[in-house]
Amino acid sequence: MNMANTTLVEKFRSMDYGVAPEDSGLALAWLDQFQRRFGHFIGGAWRAPTQGGYFETSDPSTGDKIADIAQGSATDVDAAVKAARTALQGWQALTPHARARFLYALARQVQKHSRRLSVLETIDNGKPIRESRDIDIPLVARHFYYHAGWAQLLGQEFPGYQACGVVGQIIPWNFPLLMLAWKIAPALAAGNTVVLKPAEFTPLTALAFAELCIEVGLPPGVVNIITGDGSTGEALVVHPDVDKIAFTGSTEVGRAIRRATADSHKKLSLELGGKSPFVVFEDADLDSAVEGLVDGIWLNQGQVCCAGSRLLMQESIATQLTRKLQARMATLRVGPPLDKTTDIGAIVARVQLERIEGLVAQGVAEGASCWQPDIPLPSRGLYYKPTLFTNVHPTSVVAQQEIFGPVLAAMTFRTPAEAVELANNTAYGLAASVWSESVNVALQVASRIKAGVVWVNSTNMFDAASGFGGYRESGFGREGGREGLREYLEPAWFRKAPLLGRGAGAGPAHSAESALDPPAGAAIDQSGEPPIDRTVKLYIGGKQVRPDSGYSIECRSAKGVLLGEVPLGNRKDIRNAVEAAGKAQQWSTTMAHNRAQVLYYLAENLSQRAQELVTRLAAVVGRRQASRELKLSTERLFSYAAWTDKYEGVVHSPPYRNVSLAMNEPIGTVGVVCPEATPLLGFLSMVLPLVSAGNCVVAVPSAAYPLIAGDLYQILETSDMPGGVINMVTGRPMELMKVLAEHDDVDALWCYGDEALCAAAKRLSAGNLKQVWTNEGRQIDFFSERHGEGRWYLDHAYQVKNIWVPYGE
């Protein structure tokens, strides 16, 4: 009996997989129909490139050429943008239902041709057919189905919103067709037309998709595909007739695009790199965690922006987990991607393989221990062994840089707090995976990791309904879900709002009446004696503080009467304020009910001082505006107190055994440059949504009437607002904005001003890629409830984090 068992086990162990190649015949025949030479897809037809000729796309598993691909020039891009612009009106004139039918037809067509698309993806990219067949293409279809639904519901669910217009989309090579779906489906559902540029290494499935657009009868010009390299992408980014850019790719190129679009009104979303932590606690099911790692870092050869590339192990299980992991790595099969038994396919291109080799060599040089299993690699093609680094220092290259290859860097931690600290010790913030059998530990840690997606006891799961996107240098904006659709929409009124004229933004909006008002405020003293000098200070960390510079600037009334002086804040003051905001972050975890109470209390105290405030404000903006500002400010405080516990997340039900909790999280520390013309109402309209959401703010009050800071901090001081939640630094907006934009600990910047100020805010923030929200130099009527408050503001005050929680045994 024993003997027989041993033999069976031995036999089982010695058994090898046979060869199980996927048939590529139909996909190759499809390529042959085009004589393996592809032009651009513009205005519903194929067009040869005007200049630039063709470049080759090849199969990374063999090095063999697959086809010639058109290199897009600026002229080609221009033709595609023109086609998209021409198609826009007709596309928008369709009913939402008609657009929904097109998206539905695209989903069906993807399903009908799923095998061909999978094979094309695999031969162009090198990923295992199992992945393209079972992950990529089904998710592509799901994305079009899901967004067919949004197209149908658009009018009901987004009243008052309109599409951005012509959208330029640039995608990478790691999930070529899936990234196309993530970009095109929401854009079309929202009523935009599209020019998409696939990556130069992997253009084939985008071209196959163009064929599907013809097959479903999509109106010409609604989708245009331009192929080419980075220069083609650049031409699309700078094209003046593009209304929005959506980009997925490297952080470096993301930065360049941020700068290149700063001086335009193009809306921008960036999905960039990552260095995602994979955190394993001692009570985790270690075997499951090992399988999770196989999906987390070896999916798609590790060329995944959200790959779990940093393994953080609790010290007590580190040795055991490492042993289990190495045993599993030794069973991974690296081989031809079209073979259905292959786990790890080919690296997309030689340059990428060299990048991986270079970074691994740096890791070794830095002293980390590098381990690879003794498994064979095919003799031809671009392959790399699964690789494990241990003994990694948290600041080393392999722990910090995105390698984008099958390379895992392992580190240890002792406590959950240390795990969170290590997990957040990165410039990125795209995803994380947390493994623990304790729901308390897992959810607590998930909530504290700064990442757009956190998978509990699972990894690399995606669904069209659950938004995906990053914090910090992983970019901004979301793809998927309601929040992803918002990236392609704007309030209709906002596009039409007039630009602040030169100087119009700089001064208050004087009502006609104001010129007739007697001078009011501090300059008047009934007794005839000189008024007591009113000294306003900066307000930092809940304290009134003197400015670093020791200089003040004058504040005058509409009629030129000196009303008082305010400190001239500088770089150091902003830094102090940012530090104070950083220390006040517990505001984000203060219960919403309590945050609301503070805002109600502020309203109470504001209304008690109404008379005095109106009198002072009237000297600058006239009595009528001052009274309106006061009245609406109190209402706005009530509004945001109300919203505090009502702008809540949702629970998604993805088609797996998971729920995903879409939590609305505050962004962190936000710099705010406030409108000039409405010193009180404008300040509160921008600061309150942020504070209601749990952010801490460093605000630059109206440059026309910065004295408002003095009134505001007195009210704050009597309203239980914790010190550091709202900080105020008066001074020159452009100078102070620059410091806020460049400061690494400022997580977002809201900037209201003329076009020059808004453009500078976007350009200067490119360094750390913080999210910037501006009025685009347009005038916002803060007296209007529709324009001046509500969801549009809150949508920008929060970012959505999706926490995936499994259920079942």
- Least separation in angstroms between CB 126 and ligand NAI: 14
Residue 428 in contact with ligand NAI, rule: CB under 6 A: no
Calculate Rg over the CA atoms of the chain: 29
Which residue in 777, 785, 786 sits closest to 751, CA to CA? 777
Residue 249 in contact with ligand NAI, rule: CB under 6 A: yes
Residue 248 in contact with ligand NAI, rule: CB under 6 A: yes
DSSP letter at 633 equals H
Residue 582 in contact with ligand NAI, rule: CB under 6 A: no
Binding test (CB under 6 A) with ligand NAI, winner from 230, 378, 542, 654: 230
| Amino acid sitting at position 726 | I
Closest residue to ligand NAI, based on beta-carbon distance: 233
Cβ proximity to ligand NAI: between 269 and 692 the closer is 269
C-beta of residue 677 within 8 angstroms of C-beta of residue 508: yes
- Least separation in angstroms between CB 166 and ligand NAI: 16
Binding test (CB under 6 A) with ligand NAI, winner from 256, 332, 650, 734: 256
Residue 229 in contact with ligand NAI, rule: CB under 6 A: yes
Cβ proximity to ligand NAI: between 253 and 445 the closer is 253
Tokens of 376: 């064979």
- Least separation in angstroms between CB 141 and ligand NAI: 21
Whose tokens are 């102090």? That residue is 576
Cβ proximity to ligand NAI: between 233 and 505 the closer is 233
Tokens of 355: 């990048």
Q: Report the distance separating Cα 442 and Cα 432, nearest Å.
A: 11
Whose tokens are 């406030």? That residue is 674
Site for ligand NAI in 130-189 (CB under 6 A): 170-174
- Least separation in angstroms between CB 239 and ligand NAI: 11
- Least separation in angstroms between CB 170 and ligand NAI: 5
Binding test (CB under 6 A) with ligand NAI, winner from 237, 293, 613, 688: 237
DSSP letter at 356 equals H
C-beta of residue 754 within 8 angstroms of C-beta of residue 774: no
- Least separation in angstroms between CB 431 and ligand NAI: 11
Cβ proximity to ligand NAI: between 428 and 455 the closer is 428
Residue 71 in contact with ligand NAI, rule: CB under 6 A: no
- Least separation in angstroms between CB 171 and ligand NAI: 6
For 74, the enclosing helix (H) or strand (E) is helix 74-93
Tell me which stretch binds ligand NAI (CB under 6 A): 141-149, 229-237, 364-372, 571-579.
229-237
CA distance to 464, 491, 628, 706, per residue, from 520 (Å): 58, 38, 17, 16
C-beta of residue 419 within 8 angstroms of C-beta of residue 279: yes
Residue 355 in contact with ligand NAI, rule: CB under 6 A: yes
Tell me which stretch binds ligand NAI (CB under 6 A): 31-39, 225-233, 366-374, 686-694.
225-233
C-beta of residue 388 within 8 angstroms of C-beta of residue 397: no
Q: Report the distance separating Cα 68 and Cα 175, nearest Å.
A: 21
User: By CB under 6 A, how many residues form the interface with ligand NAI?
Assistant: 26
- Least separation in angstroms between CB 275 and ligand NAI: 10
Residue 429 in contact with ligand NAI, rule: CB under 6 A: no
Cβ proximity to ligand NAI: between 234 and 676 the closer is 234
Residue 769 in contact with ligand NAI, rule: CB under 6 A: no
How many Cα neighbours within 13 Å face the side chain of 725? 26
Instruction: Say whether 755 is catalytic.
Output: no
Site for ligand NAI in 335-354 (CB under 6 A): 352
Interface pattern 197-216 for ligand NAI (x via CB under 6 A)? x-xx----------------
DSSP string, 749-792: EEE-S-HHHHHHHHHHTTTTT-EEEE-TTB---TTSHHHHSSHH
Cβ proximity to ligand NAI: between 238 and 693 the closer is 238
Which residue in 474, 447, 425 sits closest to 803, CA to CA? 447
Q: Report the distance separating Cα 577 and Cα 541, nearest Å.
A: 7
Residue 272 in contact with ligand NAI, rule: CB under 6 A: yes
- Least separation in angstroms between CB 72 and ligand NAI: 10
Helices (H), 193-317: 204-215, 230-238, 251-261, 286-298
Cβ proximity to ligand NAI: between 310 and 595 the closer is 310
Catalytic residue among 213, 305, 306, 758: 305
Whose tokens are 């196989």? That residue is 294
- Least separation in angstroms between CB 404 and ligand NAI: 4
Catalytic residue among 22, 131, 200, 271: 271
Helices (H), 645-765: 681-692, 708-717, 733-742, 755-764
Q: Report the distance separating Cα 644 and Cα 691, nearest Å.
A: 9
Sequence-ordered list of residues with C-beta below 8 angstroms from that of 73, at least 6 positions apart, any chain: 49, 50, 51, 52, 228, 232, 235
Residue 253 in contact with ligand NAI, rule: CB under 6 A: yes
b/e code 438-468 from CB counts within 10 Å (16+ = b): eeebbbebbebbbbbbbbbbbbbbbbbbbbb
3 state SS of 470: coil
Binding test (CB under 6 A) with ligand NAI, winner from 131, 402, 483, 747: 402
- Least separation in angstroms between CB 199 and ligand NAI: 4
Which residue in 725, 678, 668 sits closest to 701, CA to CA? 678
Which residue in 83, 88, 120, 134 sits closest to 211, CA to CA? 120
Cβ proximity to ligand NAI: between 21 and 53 the closer is 53
C-beta of residue 59 within 8 angstroms of C-beta of residue 66: yes
Cβ proximity to ligand NAI: between 246 and 803 the closer is 246
Cβ proximity to ligand NAI: between 272 and 700 the closer is 272
- Least separation in angstroms between CB 56 and ligand NAI: 15
Sequence-ordered list of residues with C-beta below 8 angstroms from that of 366, at least 6 positions apart, any chain: 393, 396, 397, 398
Binding test (CB under 6 A) with ligand NAI, winner from 77, 222, 299, 305: 305
Residue 462 in contact with ligand NAI, rule: CB under 6 A: no
743 - beta bridge partners? none
CA distance to 478, 481, 695, per residue, from 484 (Å): 5, 5, 22
Residue 234 in contact with ligand NAI, rule: CB under 6 A: yes
Instruction: Say whether 513 is catalytic.
Output: no
Cβ proximity to ligand NAI: between 71 and 625 the closer is 71
- Least separation in angstroms between CB 406 and ligand NAI: 13
565 - beta bridge partners? 535, 554
Tell me which stretch binds ligand NAI (CB under 6 A): 32-40, 133-141, 242-250, 751-759.
242-250
Cβ proximity to ligand NAI: between 270 and 577 the closer is 270
CA angle 440, 306, 293 (to 5 degrees): 65
Region for residue 65 given its phi and psi (left: phi exceeds 0; alpha: psi -120 to 50; beta: otherwise): beta
User: Quick one: how far is CA 806 from the chain centroid?
Assistant: 25
Cβ proximity to ligand NAI: between 199 and 726 the closer is 199
Q: Report the distance separating Cα 469 and Cα 483, nearest Å.
A: 10
- Which residues are known catalytic residues? 271, 305
- Where do contacts with ligand NAI occur on this chain (CB under 6 A)? 170-174, 197, 199-200, 229-230, 233-234, 237, 248-250, 253, 256-257, 272-273, 305, 352, 355, 402, 404
